Amino acid sequence: MNMRLLVFARAEHCDCSSWQGGPLVHTVKQTYSATGLLAGTVGNKGGLVVSLHFGPVSLCFVSCHLAAHMHAADKRDNDCKEILQETWPVCHPRLDLTNQFDHCFWFGDLNYRVELKPRSEDQEYPTLALGHSRDSGKTNATIRTKADVELRFSDADSDCFATLDSLVRDGKFRELMSYDQLRCHRTAGKAFVGFQEGQPSFAPTFKVERKPGLHHVQERAPSYCDRILWKSLPPHKGNVAQHLFTSAPGVTSSDHKPVLAHFHISASAEQGALLQKPLLQECFPVVRLTSFKAEGLAGTASTSQPHLVFLVTPLELNATESMSTAQKKTLNPVWADHELPILRPAASTPQELASCTLLAIVYNKSTKLGCVALRFPGFDPSHGPTESCCYAFEEPIVLWNQTVDTGVLSGKIHVDWTAEGICSANAVEADHPKPANHKVRCSCTMQ
């Protein structure tokens, strides 16, 4: 009735002084969320979080145990939402752990099942009363509600098991995953939006007999309950390579078989340089936002006051947030260009800016409606570093790992590296100096 998350690092990475006068592993934080029995009083379900930096790379690890049973897929989605809401102490107050860190790894007994025929929401489930012995010769049991702890297969369920067992024995694991609840919910935007996952080349890890090998128990649909997923911010997508993804069929201590993955994470030289060299704010590029609009926001149009808040990673360099002007009484707001801030992200070259992320957070009054993580537009190296560049985007707004009923944000991002553009922005900032108590080393500013 407890959960643990252990993160190990080599001693030389924790004790040396090879990163800004300190160890490579730094800024270690931890928190947790309890989602189990008795409103989280019992420690059987929930999430554990450890975040850290390895040199310039920010990492977050989430281990979780979500709601059990075939019918509880939506409850599992809500458990993830609750975990994200309750583990904010490791994050910026306006963000959650899936859109702040360069890479977020989420793993554990997620409990999503392989379901050939999804049940209706109000359908009751055959169960076996607690304390009664199982009789393998009977296929019918007392009908109880889906809140009961034990489920038992009916005749139809037995046919379902035979179908799944045949797919397992034939090694058709990719076909099995096409019926996986988590894969379906990800596609529908109901959970783990933006996460990646390796394709298993091994049999489902649940529910198995407590002995070596993968011998599935007929009372449950063979399922991939034990998962390892990861998500990267836009500039760092492609920097994670999964070299191994397998199970451990020899472990006999549980009705689950553990899973194991091995990753290689790379970081650009520019990302490290950005955090180590002196930065001159008068050399920062000028970022202008235009044609911003949102559609399909949640809420009531008559009382809505949507507005935008902008942050730029790395947050330790870009600590000041910038805001738009609110648009009232509409769930499809359009912001005039002059109502959007001009940003000066901390970067000296286009290559350094390419390792930064623009985070646009959508609010209705003080209620967060979600976030969109955006890359800065690239440039053509053949044109040299003095060129301007622009790109248009249209992205779903993500709230607590979901895009269902959250709306869409679109617009254009312009980056000006020309000497004329930067000098003009510097002149404006000189006419509007920051307060005397402003101690941020360098930041995004609004003009």
148 within a domain of the structure (yes/no): yes
Q: Do 217 and 318 have their domain in common?
A: no
Q: Do 180 and 160 have their domain in common?
A: yes
Neighbours of 371 (CB within 10 A): 24
Closest of 447, 373, 383, 368 to residue 418, by C-alpha:
383
Q: pLDDT by residue for the chain (447 residues), tens digit each?
A: 788 999 999 999 998 888 888 999 999 999 999 997 766 666 679 999 999 999 999 999 999 999 999 999 999 999 999 999 999 889 999 999 999 999 999 999 999 999 986 544 444 333 322 233 333 343 333 333 433 333 343 434 556 888 999 999 999 999 999 999 999 999 999 999 999 999 999 999 999 999 998 899 987 899 999 999 999 999 999 999 999 999 999 999 999 999 999 999 999 899 999 999 888 889 999 999 999 999 999 988 888 999 999 999 999 999 889 999 877 789 999 999 999 999 999 999 999 999 999 999 999 999 999 999 999 997 666 555 558 899 999 999 999 999 999 999 999 999 999 999 999 999 988 877 655 444 333 333 332
Q: Do 154 and 32 have their domain in common?
A: yes
How far are the Cα atoms of 29, 133, 362, 432 from residue 90, in angstroms, in the given order?
Answer: 6, 46, 21, 33
CA dist., res. 194 & res. 398, Å (int) = 9
Q: Are 263 and 198 in contact (CB under 8 A)?
A: no
Q: Do 249 and 280 have their domain in common?
A: no
Which CATH number goes with the domain that contains 334?
2.60.40.150
pLDDT at residue 148 in the model: 37
pLDDT at residue 144 in the model: 39
- Given 214, 240, 267, the domain boundary residue is 267
441 within a domain of the structure (yes/no): no
21 within a domain of the structure (yes/no): yes
Q: Do the strands 408-416 and 388-396 form a parallel or antiparallel pair, or are they unpaired?
A: antiparallel
CA dist., res. 289 & res. 412, Å (int) = 6
pLDDT at residue 141 in the model: 36
Q: Do 263 and 277 have their domain in common?
A: no
Q: Are 204 and 223 in contact (CB under 8 A)?
A: yes
pLDDT at residue 7 in the model: 97
Residues paired with 202 in a beta bridge:
none
Q: Do 376 and 244 have their domain in common?
A: no
Domain tally for the chain?
2
Which CATH number goes with the domain that contains 30?
3.60.10.10
381 within a domain of the structure (yes/no): yes
pLDDT at residue 125 in the model: 34
Q: Do 261 and 383 have their domain in common?
A: no
Domain range spanning residue 388?
A: 273-431
Q: Do 294 and 422 have their domain in common?
A: yes
Residues 6 or more apart whose CB falls under 8 angstroms from that of 308 comprise 292, 323, 324, 335, 340, 360, 361, 362, 363
Q: Do 115 and 70 have their domain in common?
A: yes
